[in-house]
């Protein structure tokens, strides 16, 4: 913790601070000791905790699904293998229902995003003080364990989806076809002069719509998980207010955790579904 007896403000700020590595104002490189130092490091600073937990959970996903694939047989699956098969079938049904074209990348991408985001979201159900306290005992000052509460992580995934959307839009329709999508709708006319006059307005509207996709995709996930984490932190403050407040905090924490399970699942599903829809739009000729 920041001190032996932090104030409410210090407690909240501590739990919302990432473990940041970057260049200090004096030119040296190292860990930021506080929000002010982290801000001064600028754009190229790295949130080590976000990187660590996202990579660890991604590796856990790969290890678990590879283990299930190696154990797969023609017999009726059971246990963990049955659970993995259920997830694969669930994602495959969603891809088949939303994606009408042929692309072998879409289903594996959807599966990866769904499970990866779900694992990162699930870290929000770990009591907010457990892992930061363990990190503190190891000499690590800050530790945020939910990567999706960091906009850098959600924007990174959303930008990856956005790049794929642009790539397939140009690959499937060609540069001319993609340019026509951005300039020839929604306002249309048979008159050549009016067509030319509509181009700037069409481009503005379509460009805003295009750019809004990664922004909304990332901010939706970040906003919901950050709000959930903030509520857990506020509930945790009750445990330091006496026996009655501690009991109330325990009840509220349990109730919010149960409700938050829905948010954890729903946000992973929404991120996957929107990715499939965006790729479907990239493959479709308007």
* Of residues 168, 195, 187, 152, the one with CA closest to residue 22: 152
Is residue 34 a part of any domain in this protein? no
Token pair recorded at residue 197: 């006059």
The parent domain of residue 265 ranges over 50-139+149-283
Is residue 24 a part of any domain in this protein? no
Cβ count within 10 A of residue 148: 32
Domain count, the chain: 1
Q: How confident is the model at residue 3 (pLDDT cuts 50, 70, 90)?
A: very low
Among the listed residues 18, 121, 169, 224, the single catalytic one is 224
Q: Tell me, what's the pLDDT at 188?
A: 84
120-130: pLDDT as tens digits: 999 999 999 99
- Long-range pairs for 152-157 at CB < 8 Å and ≥24 separation? 152/47, 152/50, 153/50, 153/54, 153/120, 154/217, 154/218, 154/219, 154/221, 154/222, 155/214, 155/218, 155/222, 157/113, 157/117, 157/217, 157/218, 157/271
The helix or strand, by DSSP H or E, that contains position 31, with its residue range, turns out to be strand 29-31
Look up 216 and say whether it is catalytic.
yes
Q: Are 216 and 159 in contact (CB under 8 A)?
A: no
Look up 220 and say whether it is catalytic.
yes
Is residue 90 a part of any domain in this protein? yes
Q: Tell me, what's the pLDDT at 1?
A: 43
Is residue 223 a part of any domain in this protein? yes
Is residue 44 a part of any domain in this protein? no
The pTM of this model reads 0.91
Cβ count within 10 A of residue 151: 16
Q: Tell me, what's the pLDDT at 4?
A: 61
Q: Are 19 and 46 in contact (CB under 8 A)?
A: no
Among the listed residues 82, 212, 216, 240, the single catalytic one is 216
Is residue 257 a part of any domain in this protein? yes
Is residue 176 a part of any domain in this protein? yes
Q: How confident is the model at residue 45 (pLDDT cuts 50, 70, 90)?
A: very high
Is residue 23 a part of any domain in this protein? no
Over residues 268-276, mean pLDDT = 97
């Amino acid at each position: 913790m920041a001190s032996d007896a932090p104030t409410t403000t210090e407690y909240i700020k501590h739990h919302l601070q990432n473990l940041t590595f970057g260049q200090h104002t004096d030119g040296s490189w190292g860990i930021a000791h506080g929000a002010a130092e982290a801000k001064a490091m600028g754009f190229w600073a790295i949130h080590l905790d976000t990187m660590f937990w996202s990579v660890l959970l991604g590796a856990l996903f790969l290890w678990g699904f590879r283990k299930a694939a190696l154990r797969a047989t023609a017999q009726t699956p059971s246990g963990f293998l049955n659970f993995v098969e259920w997830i694969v079938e669930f994602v495959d049904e969603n891809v088949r229902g939303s994606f009408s074209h042929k692309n072998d990348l879409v289903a594996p991408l959807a599966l990866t995003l769904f499970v990866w985001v779900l694992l990162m979201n699930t870290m929000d159900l770990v009591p907010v003080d457990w892992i930061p306290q363990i990190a503190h005992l190891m000499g690590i000052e800050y530790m945020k364990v939910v990567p999706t509460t960091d906009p850098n992580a959600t924007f990174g995934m959303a930008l990856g989806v956005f790049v794929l959307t642009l790539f397939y839009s140009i690959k499937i329709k060609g540069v001319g076809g993609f340019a026509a999508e951005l300039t020839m709708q929604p306002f249309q006319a048979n008159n050549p002069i009016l067509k030319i006059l509509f181009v700037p307005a069409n481009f503005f509207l379509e460009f805003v719509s295009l750019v809004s996709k990664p922004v909304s995709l990332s901010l939706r996930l970040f906003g919901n998980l950050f709000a959930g984490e903030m509520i857990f932190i506020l509930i945790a403050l009750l445990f330091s207010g006496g026996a009655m407040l501690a009991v109330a905090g325990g009840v509220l924490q349990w109730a919010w955790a149960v409700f938050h399970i829905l948010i954890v699942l729903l946000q992973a599903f929404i991120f996957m579904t929107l990715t499939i829809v965006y790729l479907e739009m990239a493959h479709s000729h308007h």
